[in-house]
Amino acid sequence: MSNASYDIFIESAEKKYAFQLWINEEIEQAMIMDMRDTNTGYKLTKEATAELKKKVLMRP
């Protein structure tokens, strides 16, 4: 598997989360993985991927 495009860290007062995200212009569906379970990746829907591309890749 290639290196992730992004490492995402989310922290609240009670919990911390860490994810890796694979996304780029060429792929139709992004993938996300919880860094606590590196054996399992989750493919995002085409709709979710399109929405993330707008926000993360600054695509119109």
Note the pLDDT of residue 54: 92
* Distance of alpha carbon 27 from alpha carbon 46, whole angstroms: 10
Note the pLDDT of residue 38: 92
* pLDDT band, residue 2 (cuts 50/70/90): confident
Note the pLDDT of residue 36: 95
pLDDT in tens, 4-35: 999 999 999 999 999 999 999 999 999 999 99
**Which of 5, 7, 53 is CA-nearest to residue 28?**
53
Calculate mean pLDDT across residues 36-44. Answer: 95
E-strand ranges in the chain read 6-11, 16-22, 31-34, 42-43
